[in-house]
């Protein structure tokens, strides 16, 4: 059975992406960064999107919030959120959709905070714009938010450069959940942080997810982190999804050679030590086919005969 | 005095605007060429310029003026200051641009004037840029005390008000072309030094320079062989800005009567026009040509400078460039604005 | 605080350099300024003034270091000697009567150019490829390519001589004495229009392009994307997030121009015979009035340095990152 890059999620998907294609248009040639990608995220589900840098995962995140800038544009497919067509939203609708329905935590907290505004003012901005609260009320709520992510409310008056890296990222997470969105996009939220802080931040996110019940689109190249956190996941390569299934299934039985290589490239956070293996030199996948259901709920892009043979040769 | 406006598109936005009034800070383009394959990136700069409409327009205008300057003795073999016609004649078939209050041919004065103006502009431009390169490279390579001392000197010279200093220097020195050039270089080098220093510093911190130091290459070789070739675009921008500064400042100085009054140049033409009351008598044809010439040359250089910026900094362009994946990736290559750079340096 | 002290130290060094330059110039330049001056002003000068002048310009027999410290002392206590062209008025008095006009002209022109130019720059960067972004930069570069004094001459000829809309010289009409009446103020205003317009025209392009290019760089920052993702209103993002950051370099530039305006308006002042320090400086040079020349140069330098220092203090208020380290 051939399914066009679809994975079957929970019954009522919050986010539904179908055949999404994003191109970067140049004056001479254009590059396809995301190629006919489909997936959906159910209510309260944590969905992981894994892959090496440059594979198109961040582009998908930006496409969902319609943040793509000039050379990049959505060339096809659809994005539906709670039944609404995101790509058809008007300017004002889009502005409200952002952060009220979907919020995002960016890769680098240092760069995503305005350096000349206090943390407090940057949170207050969200409340005054979307909820119409007074400044005083907004500040009170901002203080609550900081307490939620275990930052001293006195830090409201601090500027971004006065906080540590972990604190900044937690402040950004606080901002992201300010309006209780139904979907939170985490775009490599911990790459810039050291391992201990990484663990703290991830625990924080899990905690918040329990309390507030939002769905999560979690983007990372760190497979072990992803397997730990997400319910279901997809692995991307060159703008295509090569494998998608329950995280547990991918963890125990990765089927696509690229997934196998990715799993081997990161040490497991717990359990016995295993030697790391990666993708052999010079191995590239091209013309990735549509997904097929290899096992119940486990979809894999089949390899052409020739490629499979080459891969066999490279590995032996 | 002419402002070198195109210089504002630089990697140090704060510093480049330094003086919209006197054009005191001549500086250059932006964009850090990648460390690898210098020759290729410099060739692509050239290629980019050759296909850039602004650059080609600028080059065409400049070429016309250089040709006129070279051909002046052929076109008007007579001494241009000679009184040939009636005083204050309007432009007609014989005198295309009319005559001055003394009865000199304005066209001859204008074309001959390009010689001195272009010569001084180019000399001042090259000399200031050369000093800027030396100071910038020495600062970046040696660092520490030498850098402190050089950048302190540079910043002091940048802060001293340019035009008044020019006037004072010109007043004390014996008049002549040499004085004009000397004075313009003294007041103009600091701007280029500052820009080139900050660029050289960022290249100095690259790994391939460190590698050259470790392998024991000689300082001069590292400065001129490793660092300088990577600054091609910014050196070019600086040079253009310095030439604009030189031409404008010379004209200003001469207009004040502080230049070499005996030579024929655009600035002196305007000085005489003012002195002979061309404005009040309504002889617009006496002061319009020289001013327009200065503006056209400065404009052509500014266009080229602007084009250098566009070629080296894709973000300033409108054309779309193919990119691989994340839009953010390309930004890492761009030098970030450093609002406090100058402060740290001082 | 350390930042402010460092800057203060730097400005003191710069001021010391300019005093020293002033001291050295007449002593080491070829030719003898004093004898040139004597030739012109002989009949008017008293013997003790000649003596003073010798001391000032270093043509007396004291050793150099003694001359130098004497000179430093004189300058720092405001004893700049007597003006030759405005004999026997002290230099400080002559300068005092001029500074106000330059501040008025330069200040007006600078504030208008900076405010309008920066706003245009913000607009151009925000609407890339729009009318403001595509038409204005080349036009402003072209206008900015004209020499100051030439635009001033053109404005004077067109609006002053030919059309007769504005007065063509001086800061106020001879017929009206300075007073705080509406008549006088409006007269000063009319005299201000053409010179200020010239300066604004030439300098506005620099402001606009500078702001535009910084804004373009700022717009690519992650915090702008985040602000957009936050669903803030466009105006809020444009001013509070993008322009607020992009203005920081502009503030530095403002400081430098603020000071330079005092000297930079010189050419405009000369064309319009506007009685500011620039016009006076040229008159001093033509009249071989060396004490006045030096005094004016020092005053202008001091103004530049002071203005920059004030801007540094402002900068610290605007950029929290400088404040803490």
Q: What is the mean pLDDT of residues C230-249?
A: 90
Task: Answer for the pair C284, B48: CB distance below 8 angstroms, yes or no.
Answer: no
Task: Kindly list the residues from chain B whose CB atom is less than 8 angstroms away from the CB atom of residue C144.
Answer: 2-3, 5, 302
Q: How far apart are CA C190 and CA C172, in angstroms?
A: 8
Provide, for chain C, the percentages of residues in helix, strand and coil under a 3-state DSSP scheme, each rounded to the nearest 5. 80, 0, 20
| Chains within contact range of chain B (3+ C-beta pairs < 8 Å) | A, C
Task: Kindly list the residues from chain B whose CB atom is less than 8 angstroms away from the CB atom of residue A27.
Answer: 319-322
Task: Kindly list the residues from chain A whose CB atom is less than 8 angstroms away from the CB atom of residue C245.
Answer: 114-116
Q: How far apart are CA A169 and CA A177, in angstroms?
A: 13
Q: How far apart are CA B40 and CA B229, in angstroms?
A: 11
- What pLDDT is recorded for position B34? 38
- For A62, which residue in chain B has the nearest alpha carbon? B326
Residues 133 to 152 of B: which have CB under 8 A from any C CB? 152
Of the two residues A9 and B130, the one the predictor is more confident about is B130
| Residue B16 pLDDT > 70 | no
Tokens representing A206 are 């899990």
Predicted confidence band of residue A156 (pLDDT cuts 50, 70, 90):
very high
pLDDT in tens, A166-218: 889 889 999 999 999 999 999 888 777 788 888 888 888 888 888 888 999 99
Q: Considering only B90-99, B153-162, B335-344, which range has the smallest mean pLDDT?
A: B335-344
- What pLDDT is recorded for position A41? 92
ipTM: 0.83
DSSP state of A1: -
Task: Kindly list the residues from chain A whose CB atom is less than 8 angstroms away from the CB atom of residue B327.
Answer: 24, 59, 62, 68-69, 71-72
| Residue B132 pLDDT > 90 | yes
Task: Kindly list the residues from chain B whose CB atom is less than 8 angstroms away from the CB atom of residue A56.
Answer: 325
Location of structure tokens 């809020």? C236
Q: How far apart are CA A13 and CA A45, in angstroms?
A: 9
Q: Which of C129, C231, C321 is most worth mutating to test chain A (most A CB atoms within 10 A of its CB)? A: C231
Location of structure tokens 């106020």? C172
A68 vs C: CB within 8 A: no
Q: Do A25 and B325 touch (CB under 8 A)?
A: no
| Residue B6 pLDDT > 50 | no
Task: Answer for the pair A254, A298: CB distance below 8 angstroms, yes or no.
Answer: no
Residues 3 to 42 of B: which have CB under 8 A from any C CB? 3, 5-6, 8-10, 12-22, 24-25, 30
Strand A13-25 to A30-42 pairing: antiparallel
The minimal CB distance from B163 to the residues C216, C263, C305 is found for C263
First to last CA, chain C: 9
Q: How far apart are CA A109 and CA A226, in angstroms?
A: 20
Which domains does chain B possess?
45-316 (1.10.3720.10)
Shortest CA gap B144–chain A (Å): 27
- What pLDDT is recorded for position B329? 29
Q: How far apart are CA B212 and CA B223, in angstroms?
A: 10
Q: What is the mean pLDDT of residues A7-14?
A: 60
Cis omega (within 30 of 0) for bond into B212: no
Of the two residues A239 and C31, the one the predictor is more confident about is A239
Location of structure tokens 């929970």? A10
Task: Kindly list the residues from chain C whose CB atom is less than 8 angstroms away from the CB atom of residue A106.
Answer: 222, 225-226, 229
Shortest CA gap A107–chain B (Å): 11
Instruction: For chain B, list residues whose CB is within 8 angstroms of any CB belonging to chain A.
Output: 319-329
Q: Do C140 and B155 touch (CB under 8 A)?
A: no
The minimal CB distance from A113 to the residues C223, C318, C324 is found for C223
Rg from Cα positions in chain B: 22
Q: How far apart are CA A121 and CA A142, in angstroms?
A: 9
| Residue B167 pLDDT > 80 | yes
Tokens representing B241 are 């800005």
| Residue C244 pLDDT > 50 | yes
Q: How far apart are CA B318 and CA C212, in angstroms?
A: 14
Alpha helices in chain B (DSSP H): 13-16, 38-50, 53-75, 106-142, 144-159, 162-172, 177-204, 207-214, 219-221, 232-255, 266-275, 278-281, 284-312, 327-331, 341-345
Cβ neighbour number for residue A294 with a 10 Å cutoff? 17
Q: How far apart are CA B157 and CA B145, in angstroms?
A: 18
- For B171, which residue in chain C has the nearest alpha carbon? C285
What percent of chain B has pLDDT above 90? 13
DSSP state of A154: G
Nearest Cα to C220, choosing from B267, A111, A233? A111
Shortest CA gap B172–chain C (Å): 6
Tokens representing A188 are 């490599």
Number of Cβ pairs closer than 8 Å across B and C?
Answer: 263
- What pLDDT is recorded for position C209? 85
Q: How far apart are CA B163 and CA B184, in angstroms?
A: 10
| Residue A90 pLDDT > 80 | yes
What percent of chain C has pLDDT above 70? 88
Number of DSSP helices (H) and strands (E) in chain C, helices first: 15, 0
HSE on the CB side for B173, CA within 13 Å?
20
Q: How far apart are CA A208 and CA A174, in angstroms?
A: 10
| Residue C250 pLDDT > 60 | yes
Q: What is the mean pLDDT of residues C212-218?
A: 87
| Residue-by-residue DSSP string for A50-110 | E--TTSSHHHHHHHHTT---TTEEEEEEEEEETTEEGGG--HHHHHHHHHHTEEEE-S-HH
- What pLDDT is recorded for position C135? 85
Nearest Cα to B25, choosing from B199, B240, B189? B189
Task: Answer for the pair B293, B247: CB distance below 8 angstroms, yes or no.
Answer: no
Q: How far apart are CA C41 and CA C291, in angstroms?
A: 13
Tokens representing A87 are 């790509």
Predicted confidence band of residue B239 (pLDDT cuts 50, 70, 90):
very high
Shortest CA gap A303–chain C (Å): 38
Q: Which residues, at least 6 apart from A207, have a Cβ–Cβ distance to it below 8 Å? A: none
Q: How far apart are CA A61 and CA A17, in angstroms?
A: 11
Shortest CA gap C234–chain A (Å): 9
Q: What is the mean pLDDT of residues B167-186?
A: 84
Q: What is the pTM of this model?
A: 0.77
- What pLDDT is recorded for position B92? 77
Task: Identify which of A124-133, B208-217, C151-160 has the greatest average pLDDT.
Answer: A124-133
- What pLDDT is recorded for position B308? 84
Task: Kindly list the residues from chain B whose CB atom is less than 8 angstroms away from the CB atom of residue C122.
Answer: none
Task: Answer for the pair B213, C112: CB distance below 8 angstroms, yes or no.
Answer: no
Q: How far apart are CA B120 and CA B246, in angstroms?
A: 7
DSSP state of B32: P
Tokens representing B271 are 């000085």
Dump strand ranges (E) for A196-252.
215-220, 232-237, 240-246
Q: How far apart are CA A114 and CA A125, in angstroms?
A: 12
A211: three-class secondary structure by DSSP:
helix
Q: Which of A101, A110, A116 is most worth mutating to test chain C (most C CB atoms within 10 A of its CB)? A: A116
Task: Answer for the pair A20, A77: CB distance below 8 angstroms, yes or no.
Answer: yes
Q: Do C244 and A116 touch (CB under 8 A)?
A: yes
A287: three-class secondary structure by DSSP:
coil
pLDDT in tens, A222-232: 888 888 888 99
Output the CA–CA distances (angstroms, integers) from residue A248 to A252, B339, C255, in the order listed. 6, 49, 62
- H/E element, A232: strand A232-237
Number of Cβ pairs closer than 8 Å across A and B?
Answer: 52
Q: How far apart are CA B243 and CA B122, in angstroms?
A: 6
- For B302, which residue in chain C has the nearest alpha carbon? C141
Residues 143 to 172 of A: which have CB under 8 A from any C CB? 159, 161-162, 172
Task: Answer for the pair A155, A146: CB distance below 8 angstroms, yes or no.
Answer: yes
Shortest CA gap B298–chain C (Å): 5
Q: Which of C125, C129, C216, C223 is most worth mutating to test chain A (most A CB atoms within 10 A of its CB)? A: C223
HSE on the CB side for C278, CA within 13 Å?
32
| Residue A72 pLDDT > 70 | yes
Task: Answer for the pair B47, B295: CB distance below 8 angstroms, yes or no.
Answer: no
Mean pLDDT of chain A: 83
Q: Which of A94, A97, A125 is most worth mutating to test chain C (most C CB atoms within 10 A of its CB)? A: A125
């Amino acid at each position: 059975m051939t399914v066009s890059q679809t994975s079957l999620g929970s019954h009522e998907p919050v986010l539904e992406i179908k055949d999404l294609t994003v191109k970067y248009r140049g004056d001479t040639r254009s590059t396809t960064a995301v190629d006919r990608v489909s997936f959906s995220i159910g209510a309260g589900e944590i969905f992981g999107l894994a892959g090496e840098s440059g594979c198109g995962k961040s582009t998908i995140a930006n496409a969902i919030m319609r943040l793509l800038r000039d050379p990049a544009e959505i060339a096809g497919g659809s994005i539906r959120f709670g039944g609404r067509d995101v790509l058809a939203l008007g300017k004002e609708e889009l502005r409200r959709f952002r952060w009220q329905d979907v919020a995002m935590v960016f890769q680098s907290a240092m760069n995503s905070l305005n350096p000349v505004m206090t943390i407090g003012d940057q949170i207050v901005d969200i409340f005054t714009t979307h909820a119409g609260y007074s400044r005083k009320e907004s500040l009170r709520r901002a203080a609550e938010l900081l307490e939620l992510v275990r930052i001293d409310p006195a830090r409201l008056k601090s500027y971004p450069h006065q906080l540590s890296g972990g604190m900044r990222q937690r402040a950004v997470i606080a901002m992201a959940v300010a309006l209780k969105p139904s979907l939170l996009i985490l775009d490599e939220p911990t790459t810039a942080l050291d391992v201990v802080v990484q663990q703290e931040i991830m625990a924080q996110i899990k905690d918040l997810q329990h309390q507030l019940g939002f769905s999560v689109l979690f983007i990372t190249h760190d497979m072990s982190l992803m397997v730990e956190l997400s319910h279901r996941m997809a692995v991307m390569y060159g703008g295509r999804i090569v494998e998608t299934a329950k995280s547990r299934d991918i963890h125990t039985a990765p089927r696509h050679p690229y997934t196998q290589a990715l799993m081997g490239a990161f040490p497991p956070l717990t359990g016995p030590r295993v030697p790391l293996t990666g993708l052999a030199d010079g191995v590239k996948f091209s013309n990735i086919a549509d997904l097929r259901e290899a096992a119940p709920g486990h979809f894999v892009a089949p390899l052409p005969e020739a490629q499979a043979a080459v891969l066999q040769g490279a590995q032996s | 005095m002419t402002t070198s406006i195109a210089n504002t598109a630089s990697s140090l936005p704060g510093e480049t605007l330094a003086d919209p009034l006197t054009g005191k800070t001549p500086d250059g383009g932006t964009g850090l060429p990648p460390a690898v394959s210098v020759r290729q990136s410099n060739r692509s700069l050239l290629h980019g310029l050759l296909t850039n409409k602004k650059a080609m327009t600028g080059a065409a205008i400049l070429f016309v003026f250089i040709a006129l300057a070279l051909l002046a003795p052929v076109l008007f073999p007579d001494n241009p200051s000679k009184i040939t016609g009636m005083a204050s004649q309007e432009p007609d078939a014989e005198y295309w641009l009319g005559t001055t209050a003394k009865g000199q041919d304005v066209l001859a004065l204008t074309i001959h004037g390009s010689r001195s103006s272009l010569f001084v502009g180019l000399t001042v431009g090259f000399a200031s840029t050369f000093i800027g390169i030396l100071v910038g490279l020495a600062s970046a390579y040696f660092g520490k005390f030498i850098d402190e001392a050089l950048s302190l000197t540079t910043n002091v010279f940048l802060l001293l008000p340019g035009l008044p200093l020019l006037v004072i220097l010109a007043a004390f020195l014996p008049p002549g072309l040499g004085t004009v050039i000397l004075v313009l270089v003294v007041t103009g080098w600091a701007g280029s030094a500052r820009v080139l220093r900050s660029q050289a510093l960022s290249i100095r911190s690259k790994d391939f320079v460190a590698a050259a130091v470790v392998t024991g290459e000689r300082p001069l070789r590292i400065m001129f062989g490793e660092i300088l070739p990577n600054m091609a675009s910014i050196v070019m921008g600086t040079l253009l800005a310095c030439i604009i500064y030189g031409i404008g400042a010379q004209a200003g100085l001469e207009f004040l009567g502080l230049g070499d009054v005996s030579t024929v140049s655009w600035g002196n033409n305007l000085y005489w026009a003012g002195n002979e009351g061309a404005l009040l008598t309504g002889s617009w044809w006496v002061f319009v040509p020289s001013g327009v010439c200065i503006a056209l040359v400065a404009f052509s250089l500014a266009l080229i400078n602007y084009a250098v910026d566009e070629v080296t900094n894709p973000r300033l362009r409108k054309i779309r460039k193919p990119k691989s994946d994340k839009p953010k990736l390309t930004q890492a290559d761009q030098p970030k604005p450093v609002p406090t750079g100058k402060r740290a340096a001082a | 605080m350390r930042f402010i002290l460092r800057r203060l130290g730097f400005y003191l060094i710069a001021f010391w350099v300019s005093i020293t330059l002033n001291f050295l110039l007449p002593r080491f330049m070829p030719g003898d300024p004093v004898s040139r001056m004597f030739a012109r002003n002989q009949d008017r000068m008293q013997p003790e003034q000649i003596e003073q002048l010798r001391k000032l310009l270093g043509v007396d027999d004291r050793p150099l270091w003694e001359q130098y410290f004497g000179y430093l002392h004189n300058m720092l206590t405001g004893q700049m000697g007597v003006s030759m062209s405005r004999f026997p008025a002290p230099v400080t008095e002559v300068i005092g009567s001029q500074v106000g006009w330059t501040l008025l002209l330069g200040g007006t022109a600078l504030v208008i150019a900076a405010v309008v130019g920066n706003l245009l720059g913000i607009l151009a960067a925000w609407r890339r490829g729009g009318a403001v972004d595509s038409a204005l930069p080349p036009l402003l570069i072209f206008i900015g390519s004209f020499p100051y004094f030439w635009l001033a001459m053109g404005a004077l000829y067109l609006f002053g001589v030919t059309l007769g809309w504005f007065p063509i010289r001086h800061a106020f009409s001879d017929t009206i004495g300075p007073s705080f009446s509406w008549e006088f103020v409006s007269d000063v205003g009319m005299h201000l229009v053409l010179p200020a317009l010239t300066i604004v025209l030439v300098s506005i392009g620099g402001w606009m392009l500078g702001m535009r290019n910084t804004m373009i760089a700022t717009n690519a920052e992650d915090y702008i994307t985040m602000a957009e993702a936050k669903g803030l209103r466009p105006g809020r993002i444009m001013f509070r997030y993008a322009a607020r950051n992009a203005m920081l370099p502009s503030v530095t530039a403002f400081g430098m121009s603020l000071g330079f305006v005092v000297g930079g308006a010189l050419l405009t002042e000369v064309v319009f015979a506007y009685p500011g320090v620039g016009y006076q400086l040229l008159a001093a040079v033509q009249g071989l009035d060396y004490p006045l020349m030096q005094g004016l140069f020092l005053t202008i330098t001091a103004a530049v340095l002071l203005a920059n220092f004030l801007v540094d203090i402002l900068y610290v208020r605007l950029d929290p990152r400088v404040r803490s380290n």
